[in-house]
Amino acid sequence: MIWHTIRRGTGSHLNGPRPVVERDSILTRLSFSPASHDCYRERVHATVPDTQATADSPDSPINLASLGRVRVLRALTDRPALSRAELVQRTGLARATVGSVVDDLIAAGLVRKTTEPLAAGARTGRPPQLLSLEPLAGYAIGLDVGHDHVRAILTDLVGTTLWDESVALSVDGDPRTALDTAVQLIDRAVGETGAPRDRVLGLGLGIACPVDANGELYADGIMPGWVGVRPTDELTDRTGLAVRLVNDANAGVLAERRFGAARACTNIVYLRLSSGIGAGMVCDGRVLLGCGGFAGEIGHVTVEPHGDLCRCGNRGCLETVASPPALAGLLSRSWGRTVSTAELADLIRAGDRGALRAVEDAGDAVGRALAFTVMLLNPELIVVGGDLVIAGASLFEPMRRTLTRNSMSSHTRRLRIVSSTLGDSAGVRGAAALVLDGVPERLALEPPPAA
């Protein structure tokens, strides 16, 4: 791809003081409906870097021009292309105000005009003019720190992945190496794409560990080496980027909502079936975090009261019967030799009878756990991601059967259960989405170009 210099407004605010780590999650904003802008206002103040007060900051006089830019940029973040009439409808602003704001944003290089191809059969007339974000007006970095890898992507302003690389690594006991690797990947992403550093709007970090409401890791028993580690501080110090932190399952639901199978859905459960099992949930358009930020730990729901001890300290958790390491352990005991999770994947792909039986039993256990979730939350869509989805029908059929058997038909009649369309990219793309969702407030502060 050809990289070129991006037009910048004068005196860019993107070159501000050192970014401040945002410890308050912005998750609730990410799921808000375009038609209900006020839904996210209650949290927006806590989610924008201190160094960049927004137009609606309670400590700042309201700047209507900035507010208009926020609304227009928000509408164009939620929909890839809109006409001016649609912008008027979606922002609630006067037509003249939309026109003025759009002209300013085009002049600042943040919005561009596009045209919609004429529908088949339309032989005359001018194609309608649409407006969209200028993709190269800014960039986001997504970072996925799993138990066995560190992965980084760099995206443009509309979420297209421009750079993507993963390093296999044993992460749980060695945060130093993991963070060093992350910084190296970030430096390479910026260097190899040529993205201007001052146009990288932030870093989203998705991690395979519970994250509390203050953005602190709850690593005890999950990622033991990370107890007391503050990756947001570390990465901010070493990259100069504002860092947003999210649990990997919540990153998954954000990615599916923005890029994947759950677009246009407002009640979603994203279930991640990997060595860690967790759920990200969107209820009535808002990500459900719980009072401590720990909602969705479905992997530690007891499904076998007399089952194996779990790393969390409980017994018979879903993770002990339905995670790939648990299934590999079953085969290891049965066959009297060590079966790795990599070999398990190969066996599943090859249709090995024992491996598929283990997957079917796992699907049954997942269905039992999901039945509780469905009865409580009444979702319209369950998106299943993670390593185990390669098993396909061997996983999904028993899962659907047990879920249906253990739920009321009122809750399952319209429920869809689908495989993730993002595959193993969901976590890292959701981490980048954390940054991208802050784009309207961030870029609304871009000053108009010099006359």
Residues whose CB falls within 8 Å of the CB of residue 231, separated by 6 or more in sequence, listed in order: 145, 175, 179, 205, 207, 217, 243, 245
| Rounded-to-integer distance, Cα 282 and Cα 420, Å | 16
Distances 160 to 105, 164, 404, 434 between C-alpha atoms, Å: 21, 11, 37, 14
CB-nearer residue toward Zn ion: 317 or 389: 317
Residue 208 within binding range of Zn ion, rule CB under 5 A = no
Stretch that binds Zn ion, among 7-15, 185-193, 215-223, 298-306 (CB under 5 A): 298-306
3-state secondary structure (DSSP) of residue 356? helix
Stretch that binds Zn ion, among 75-83, 180-188, 313-321, 409-417 (CB under 5 A): 313-321
Stretch that binds Zn ion, among 1-9, 216-224, 302-310, 351-359 (CB under 5 A): 302-310
Stretch that binds Zn ion, among 58-66, 126-134, 280-288, 307-315 (CB under 5 A): 307-315
CB-nearer residue toward Zn ion: 196 or 221: 221
CB-nearer residue toward Zn ion: 297 or 441: 297
| Rounded-to-integer distance, Cα 74 and Cα 59, Å | 22
83 touches 113 (CB < 8 A): no
CB-nearer residue toward Zn ion: 303 or 317: 317
3-state secondary structure (DSSP) of residue 78? helix
Stretch that binds Zn ion, among 169-177, 228-236, 265-273, 297-305 (CB under 5 A): 297-305
| Rounded-to-integer distance, Cα 82 and Cα 337, Å | 59
Residues whose CB falls within 8 Å of the CB of residue 425, separated by 6 or more in sequence, listed in order: 153, 161, 164, 255
Distances 361 to 120, 172, 195, 346, 404 between C-alpha atoms, Å: 50, 28, 47, 18, 16
Residues whose CB falls within 8 Å of the CB of residue 176, separated by 6 or more in sequence, listed in order: none
141 touches 204 (CB < 8 A): yes
CB-nearer residue toward Zn ion: 310 or 322: 310
Stretch that binds Zn ion, among 128-136, 172-180, 214-222, 316-324 (CB under 5 A): 316-324
Residue 20 within binding range of Zn ion, rule CB under 5 A = no
CB-nearer residue toward Zn ion: 210 or 438: 210
CB-nearer residue toward Zn ion: 286 or 300: 300
Figure out which of the listed residues 147, 300, 400, 429 binds Zn ion, where binding follows CB under 5 A.
300
Figure out which of the listed residues 190, 317, 370, 445 binds Zn ion, where binding follows CB under 5 A.
317
Pairing mode of beta strands 161-168, 149-156:
antiparallel
Residue 140 within binding range of Zn ion, rule CB under 5 A = no
Question: Nearest distance from residue 390's CB to Zn ion, in Å?
Answer: 24
Residue 310 within binding range of Zn ion, rule CB under 5 A = yes
User: How many residues line the site for Zn ion (CB under 5 A)?
Assistant: 5
Scored b (16 or more CB within 10 A) or e, 151-179 reads bbbbbbbbbeebbbebeebebbeebeebb
| Rounded-to-integer distance, Cα 287 and Cα 173, Å | 30
Question: Nearest distance from residue 302's CB to Zn ion, in Å?
Answer: 8
Residue 312 within binding range of Zn ion, rule CB under 5 A = yes
Question: Nearest distance from residue 351's CB to Zn ion, in Å?
Answer: 30
Question: Nearest distance from residue 311's CB to Zn ion, in Å?
Answer: 6
Question: Nearest distance from residue 314's CB to Zn ion, in Å?
Answer: 5
Q: Which residue ranges make up the site for Zn ion (CB under 5 A)?
A: 300, 310, 312, 314, 317
